[in-house]
Copies of this chain bind each other. A is one copy, B any other.
Amino acid sequence: MSEQILIVEDEVKLANLMSDFLSSHHFVTHQIHHGNEVLPWLEINRPSVILLDIMLPGQSGIELCKAIRQFSNVPIIMVSAKVEEIDRLLGLELGADDYICKPFSYAELVARVKAILRRLNSAEPKATVMQLDESTYTVKFKTSCIELTNFEFQLFKPLFNNPNRIYSRDSLMDTMYADQRIVSHRTIDSHIKKLRKKLDELTQTDSVIQSVYGVGYRFVHPQG
């Protein structure tokens, strides 16, 4: 089971280097080069760690850090060009987990990432017993496992990655039809129905996906 690292860095060359090095340590990476793309991406994905540069086009790393902390405790490592800037950041109490100063050695980068993950894994004895496996399009729960269709999987991903958060049908549609295609809201219902059937069978409970009247759907973790 490999961890996904989000790299937010506008210098593409640097981002690639970071990516390469982390990959060689068996991390899966995703790059974002513009500040404004971060929050939308996080609505659908849930990385294990975020490496967040401060100087960015669009929303700055500082704004983003604050914004992310509104809804998630995902570990954030702030990346800054200047030592003095880090001092200033510490004063802001953004809620970042670590700070790293450019230029950094790649050994240091990996060390910090691993340190964070080690802390995290030892602190939380695996609260989520349900897991999404992107490579096989399966959902695992306890000892069982089900397969989802591509469509079902894309639909479920944002819901699963942001438990309790309510998604409107429109926003769910947006995540699966990149081409802005418009389908009936009943279509979403239909897929939700299939998802529910599979998931409820898996978890032996109902209401893993709940409807919120007039708003949309949300996922809540099952007992156990």
Contacts and interface: CB of A to CB of B under 8 A. Distances in A.
B149 A213 contact: yes
A137 B71 contact: no
A214 B136 contact: no
A135 B213 contact: no
Nearest to A214: B150
B150 A213 contact: yes
Nearest to A165: B135
Contacts of A212: 137, 150
A169 to B, nearest CB: 13
Contacts of A164: 135-136
A136 B165 CA distance: 5
Contacts of A218: 136
Q: Name the prevailing secondary structure of the A interface residues.
A: loop
A215 B166 contact: no
A151 interface: yes
Interface in A102-161: 135-137, 149-151
Contacts of A165: 135-136
Nearest to A134: B166
Which of A136, A212, A214 neighbours the largest number of chain B CB atoms within 10 Å of its CB?
A136
A195 to B, nearest CB: 16
Given A166-B136, A166-B137, A150 B215 contact: yes
Interface string A194-224: 0000000000000000001111001000000
Nearest to A43: B135
Interface of A: 71, 135-137, 149-151, 162, 164-166, 212-215, 218
19 contacts: A71-B135, A135-B162, A135-B164, A135-B165, A135-B166, A136-B164, A136-B165, A136-B166, A136-B218, A137-B166, A137-B212, A137-B215, A149-B213, A149-B214, A150-B212, A150-B213, A150-B214, A150-B215, A151-B214
